[in-house]
Structure 1
Amino acid sequence: MGRLLVTLLAVIATILGSTIDGYESKVVQFIFGDSLSDVGNNEQLPRSLAKANLPWYGIDFGDGLPNGRFTNGRTVADIIGDAMGLPRPPAFLDPNLDEDTILEKGVNYASGGGGILNETGSYFIQRLCFHKQLELFRGTQDLITYKIGKNESRKFFRNAAYVVALGANDFINNYLMPVYGDSWKYNDQTFVDYLIETLEGQLKLLHRLGARKLMVFGLGPMGCIPLQRVLSTSGDCQEKTNDLALSFNKAASKMVEQLSATLPHANFKFGDAYDVVDDVIKNPYKYGFTNSDSPCCSFGQIRPALTCIPASTLCKDRSKYVFWDEYHPSDKANQMIANELIKKFGFLRADAGVPSPAPAMAPSADD
């Protein structure tokens, strides 16, 4: 009887082991970020003031209804993941998320209004800062460890791809606003130093939690987003804001490179698309755009209308606009940014099965 029990246990272990090995071969993504990468987390935060739950968000994605993305179509992370043949991870707060979905698709923790710093974006009431996103990731690891065991869980998380795309809100919705203490506590250089030091600690924690293949997205020329332009007296880009983005990118690139060289088995990369986005904004016609200074979705002459709302009017051709709303790029612009990063890092395109955006014609037009 004892020998039979041992044999049965060995058979069960073999069966379970082969099932678990299937998880090991599945490479998924874990995405940490702000509204540029959010795919629905803020929709599940009842008191959040940063939401993309109104028409015409999502008009060029799937069924054309709002889906939590702060744009008309895909995010940069969507497009790069598609090119790498990776599944699109659902929002952590998606009510349908379970362990099996995590093992098949990964998780997206990005939250509109979130930042590297805990205090960033506090006037949005509810948002997930990077610190909170990391806490949720730890909880995810506990769930997966309970399901497939410690050893296989470790392999699963070490084989995954990681994206960190944060920082813009720390400037636009923190340092550059006098309602925040950071705006008078720091100067430009010391604030960038504070951000980089905080981010470095967070990336080291991610490494301790198993992240080996990680990309940190740099900041674009955020002084040229429509909101920054309309708040200036001339309507031009705010060069101080752009200089802050450049300073952050320079320091973050150096820090990420050092981490990749010193942390065991780390393959960390810094994705900097500042130059190409800057060129698109300065020379839109060169890239097939006709407008790079105002949003496609706007409320007529009333600006800034901080979000796209049902009463807003849409531009005639969304593929000709660099910006979708006052803050966020359009699907077409996100495609340009993603293409630059794909080219820079040699990602192989996987065209099979990549969803195509819907035709970029608006139901209502305003020249």
Structure 2
Amino acid sequence: MGRTFIFMHFFVVCLFFFCIVECEAKQSLAPALYVFGDSFVASGNDNILNTDAKANYAPYGIDFPNGTTGRLTNGLTLADFYAQWLGLQVPPPYLLFNQTEKHTEGFNYASGPAGIRPETSTVDHGVFLSMDKQVELFKKTAQEYLPTLFGNPDELKDYLSKSIFLVVIGRNDYTQNFLSPKYNSSSKWNMKQFAEIIVDELGSKILDLYTVGARKFLVFEIDAMGCEPAFYEKQKNECSDKLTSYISTYNHKLEVELQILAKTVRGAIFALAKRYQLMYDLVANPARYVH
């Protein structure tokens, strides 16, 4: 098939992938969802790692029947919701999965402190799964675990080409790297240079996944972090202009990168989930969302 790039708002991305699966795979369900990223989609890999970035204690997970799971939320993550919309099981955290069991509906490799840059979060958070490590674990999955579940390489290739690869990462590269005095990133590069560097690195990691067999990618923008309580400028009663500028630059370069990949990588589909403007507008114009 040809090359495709699509950008869309957060709430309609799932509908796009339902269409992709329905129209091209001739079935209503994607075979699997593979998840890569940070705290927005982490689901328990950090539980067994020597890191202080754990979420396996109350009040996390209070909406789960058995309590905490390792998600940095009271309930499901956006990756979990996507799995449900696709009719799949919620992808189990890779490090907690019993590899003797048979499972073909995807895994979650995300880790709370993870960033695109390998040094991001390393000063404060001990051992965790960087994006590099997450990609390596998927390679291991595709090359060692999955071949035992499929009759031949062609079946595995077809399965991977129809699976969805969800990527939510990048914010820690700013909060736990570029904006942190513990790193010297901001003294080495300016805002535009840093955005270009991490977008290039993310593109390289996506190509690594492509090389192993991934073909359908859903990549999320960084959200409007400048509007979060930790960065919101209360005296001005507005989102942080500085952080807004940083993230906007990154998101623009990410969109351009995915467009380039769509033109140069054969047989792949890239969708950009544009969540930045939605969050920004929720803070700037809350009355629009009151019913």
TM-score normalised according to structure 1 size: 0.67
Counterpart contact for 1:178–1:184, Cα < 8 Å = no
- For the residues of structure 2 that align with 1:283 and 1:233, how far apart are their CA atoms? 18
**Which of 216, 223, 226 lines up with 2:226 in the alignment?**
223
Kindly provide the CA deviation profile for residues 245-280 of structure 1, in whole angstroms up to 9, marking residues without a partner as x.
111111101111221232111011111111111111
Kindly provide the CA deviation profile for residues 160-196 of structure 1, in whole angstroms up to 9, marking residues without a partner as x.
1110111000011110001112121111011011111
Residue 87 of structure 1 is matched in structure 2 by: 89
Residue 168 of structure 2 is matched in structure 1 by: 165
1:29 partnered with 2:33 = yes
- For the residues of structure 2 that align with 1:185 and 1:33, how far apart are their CA atoms? 25
Residue 132 of structure 2 is matched in structure 1 by: 131
Q: Give the match's secondary structure for 1:198.
A: helix
Q: Give the match's secondary structure for 1:113.
A: coil
Task: Please give the residue correspondences for 1:1-367 in structure 2 after superposition, counting only pairs within 5 Å.
Answer: 27-45=31-49, 47-60=50-63, 62-63=64-65, 65-101=67-103, 103=104, 105-122=105-122, 123-141=124-142, 142-148=144-150, 149-229=152-232, 236-288=238-290
Counterpart contact for 1:163–1:215, Cα < 8 Å = yes
**Structure 1 residue 146: deviation in Å?**
3.7
Q: Which has the larger radius of gyration?
A: 1
Q: Which amino acid aligns with 1:248?
A: Y
Kindly provide the CA deviation profile for residues 38-91 of structure 1, in whole angstroms up to 9, marking residues without a partner as x.
01111121x11111112111122x316111111112211222232232321100
Q: Which amino acid aligns with 2:117?
A: L
- For the residues of structure 2 that align with 1:124 and 1:88, how far apart are their CA atoms? 26
Q: Give the match's secondary structure for 2:95.
A: coil
Counterpart contact for 2:30–2:164, Cα < 8 Å = no
For structure 1, the 5+ residue unaligned runs are 1-24, 290-367
TM-score normalised according to structure 2 size: 0.83
**Pairs aligned (count):** 260
Kindly provide the CA deviation profile for residues 308-358 of structure 1, in whole angstroms up to 9, marking residues without a partner as x.
xxxxxxxxxxxxxxxxxxxxxxxxxxxxxxxxxxxxxxxxxxxxxxxxxxx
Please report the RMSD computed on the Cα atoms of aligned residues, expressed in angstroms: 2.0
Q: Which amino acid aligns with 2:198?
A: L
The structure showing larger relative contact order (alpha-carbon pairs under 8 Å, at least 6 residues apart) is: 2
Taking structure 1 as reference, are residues 97 and 36 closer, same or farther at Cα in structure 2, changes over 3 Å only?
A: farther
**Structure 1 residue 234: deviation in Å?**
5.9
- For the residues of structure 2 that align with 1:234 and 1:98, how far apart are their CA atoms? 56
Kindly provide the CA deviation profile for residues 194-249 of structure 1, in whole angstroms up to 9, marking residues without a partner as x.
1111111111111111111111011111112222238x876743221111111111
Residue 7 of structure 2 is matched in structure 1 by: none
- For the residues of structure 1 that align with 2:87 and 2:262, how far apart are their CA atoms? 24
Counterpart contact for 1:90–1:97, Cα < 8 Å = no
- For the residues of structure 1 that align with 2:268 and 2:191, how far apart are their CA atoms? 30
Counterpart contact for 2:139–2:209, Cα < 8 Å = no
For structure 2, the 5+ residue unaligned runs are 1-28
**Structure 1 residue 155: deviation in Å?**
2.2
Q: Which amino acid aligns with 1:183?
A: S
**Structure 1 residue 96: deviation in Å?**
3.2
Q: Give the match's secondary structure for 2:116.
A: coil
- For the residues of structure 2 that align with 1:154 and 1:109, how far apart are their CA atoms? 20
Moved over 4 A (4+): 232-236
**Structure 1 residue 144: deviation in Å?**
1.3
Taking structure 1 as reference, are residues 263 and 95 closer, same or farther at Cα in structure 2, changes over 3 Å only?
A: closer
Q: Give the match's secondary structure for 1:100.
A: coil
Q: Give the match's secondary structure for 2:107.
A: strand
Taking structure 1 as reference, are residues 250 and 118 closer, same or farther at Cα in structure 2, changes over 3 Å only?
A: same
Counterpart contact for 1:99–1:147, Cα < 8 Å = no
- For the residues of structure 1 that align with 2:179 and 2:113, how far apart are their CA atoms? 14
Q: Give the match's secondary structure for 1:215.
A: strand
Q: Give the match's secondary structure for 2:192.
A: helix
Q: Which amino acid aligns with 1:100?
A: K
Counterpart contact for 2:200–2:257, Cα < 8 Å = no
State the identity as a percent. 32
Q: Give the match's secondary structure for 2:206.
A: helix
